[in-house]
Structure 1
Amino acid sequence: MDNRPIGIFDSGIGGTSVWREIEKLLPNEDTIYLADSKNAPYGERSKAEILQLSIKNIEFLLARDCKLIVVACNTATTNAISYVREHYSIPFIGTEPAIKPAALRSKSKTVGVLATKGTLSSELFFTTSQNHAGGINKIVQVGTGLVPLIEAGKVHAPETKELLQKYLEPMLAEGMDYLVLGCTHYPYLIPVLKEMIPAHVEILDSGAAIAKQTMAILKENNLSAPPVKKGSHLFYTNANPDILASFLTDVEAQYKTAYLDF
């Protein structure tokens, strides 16, 4: 049994969609969440910048005695996960677009992928797509502008809907039956997306799979917290904490501003 917290970080509030799945599956675990909103979006940054920011996030969480770290950011995973696994001794859980399940389930053999530039241009995304979706028509779209709008709390704003309409039209025109969300911010757009796409098009994100992998790695490494305790949760951000809290109004937690030298 290990009472130390699980650490989770993202380039902002998006990774809270992953945190929700982890908390649902592992309610006995303490968590510390770090939102690096000041530097969002990561998807427009270079690989060197993404790696540097990821390391700073990790060091912040390690200083708070985290036993495992979830990289709740597709862009940070695709650009930094190999390096950090080689240079740190604790387990890391990464985040990747759900290309494989979409490819396996698609009847039309046409899948849409909405993600950041940093994810879509990464070697890891290319390899995963080649290995698991080689015979699938993949319509990939960089979701430019979506993360800043979500970070500003403008999920239902007209400008958000206009961007989504522009990004979805080519995918729908080619007959996609699965839409893969390749950014942890994007699950907050699902209610809006469902208003804009036909009912037969299924939306996939990675949150539940990440939670299951987190549980498996905790058990494998004897890091699980006692099952009888109730987890406590601490959220840090280096931007306005009110924005982060607004996405978690149903969550009992503490919110703190992280004064990071980023």
Structure 2
Amino acid sequence: MELAVLAHVGIFDSGLGGLTVARALRARAPALPILYLGDTACFPYGGQSPAELEARVLVVGQSLVDRGCTALVVACNTATSAALERLRAELPVPVIGMEPPLKPAAEQTKSRRVIVLATAGTAAGERFARLEADHAVGVTVHTVPMPGLADLIEAGRARDPQVLAMLEQAIREPIALGADAVALGCTHYGFVAAPLRTLLPEHVAIIDAADAVARRTLAVLEGVAQHVTAGAVRPVDYDVTGDRRAFAAAVDCLRDVGETLPALANIRRRLATVGS
């Protein structure tokens, strides 16, 4: 009799943004083993060339497989755009990617006008262009690059007045024109949904891809017959490739301003093939 494979999900991002996905996945699967890697030594991923980023993401993905992960979530839109197909071709485990939630925004809008907040790399990528062509026909899409926003969030400044000013400037014109949905095109941006909400009319929806990716991950695990462990809530194991103290301090800052995050357990040793 063939033994069931116990699922062990690896999630990675260039920093702490992918914790929004870990949070959503932990909410749906309390006892699922999760290993989160913040590749903070290479933050932000958008600062690298496509070739450099593809190579880096392959190293990170392989390192998680080497540590026993049976499925991977690329919790970064920029990394997904640069390397998802290559990861799927070269790694022996299922790989789930991220994309800005433009499709649900386009499906939900009544005004036929939506906003996508994204990093410059995601906004300029071919994957996003295909997404818009495939799923936003007849919808006016205001794609707004947000340089520096992820950096502020990564630094633990998600409630900084500068963040509020950046968000207000980004949405002002599209909202005045009638946009009624805002799609968050970077996993970091899930940590500024609360201040963004204060700037929007009540009827304007904020759409975050984190929960959809969590649901997709569980569906993929079921499809490949990987067993999701049941039981008590367990912490999310994590490591970073850069400064652990800075990462932990930023996480504490998010908790201090009311962000709910899963319990985290630092595995206290670098992934051997990653980092400087």
Match of 2:248 in 1: 242
Residue pair 2:106, 2:114 contacting (<8 A) in 1 also:
yes
| Residue 251 (1) aligns with residue 262 (2) | yes
Query: Which string of whole-angstrom CA distances, capped at 9 and with x for unpartnered residues, describes residues 4-61 of structure 1?
Result: 5210001100000011111111112100000112322222432112212211211221
- Contact 1:151–1:243 at 8 Å: present in 2 too? no
Aligned residue number for residue 195 of structure 1: 198
Residue 60 of structure 2 is aligned with which of 51, 57, 62? 57
Where does residue 215 of structure 1 map in the other structure? 218
Q: Which residue of 2 aligns with 1:18?
A: 21
Structure 1 equivalent of residue 95 of structure 2:
92
Number of matched residues?
A: 262
TM-superposed deviation, 1:257 = 5.8
- Using the TM superposition, give the Cα deviation of residue 232 of structure 1 relative to its aligned residue in structure 2, in angstroms: 4.3
Q: Does 1:70 align with 2:81?
A: no
* Contact persistence 2:30–2:231 (CA under 8 A): no
Give the TM-score, by structure 1 length: 0.94
State the Cα deviation string for residues 120-173 of structure 1 (Å, max 9, x = none). Answer: 111111111101102110000111010110010001111111211221112212
Distance 1:205 1:251, change over 3 A: closer
Contact 1:234 1:254 in 2 (8 A): yes
- Structure 1: give runs of 5+ residues left out of the alignment: none
Query: Secondary structure of the residue that 2:116 maps to in structure 1?
Result: strand
State the SS of the aligned residue for 2:187.
Answer: coil
Query: Higher mean Cα deviation, 236-245 or 116-125?
Result: 236-245
Check 1:158–1:219 CA distance in 2 against 1; reply closer, same or farther (3 A cut).
same
Partner of 2:147: 144
> 2:229 pairs with 221, 226, 236, which one?
226
- Which residue in 2 is equivalent to 1:179? 182
**Letter aligned with residue 258 of structure 1:** R
Q: Deviation per CA, 1:72-115: give whole Å up to 9, x if none.
A: 11111111101111111210011111111111111110000000
RMSD: 1.8
Distance in 2 of aligned mates of 1:169 and 1:242:
34
Q: Where in structure 2 are there 5+ consecutive unaligned residues?
A: none
> Aligned equivalents of 1:87 and 1:219: distance in 2?
22
Find the residue that maps to 1:185 and give its secondary structure.
helix
Q: Is the 8 A contact 1:21 1:211 kept in 2?
A: yes
- Structure-2 separation of matches of 1:213 and 1:42: 24
Q: Percent identity?
A: 33
Letter in 1 for 2:155: A
How many Å separate the matches in 1 of 2:73 and 2:264? 19
Tell me if 1:167 matches 2:181: no
With 201-210 and 242-251 compared, the bigger mean Cα shift is at: 242-251
Q: CA–CA distance in 1 between the matches of 2:232 and 2:61?
A: 26
Q: Determine if contact 1:114/1:179 at 8 Å carries over to the other structure.
A: yes
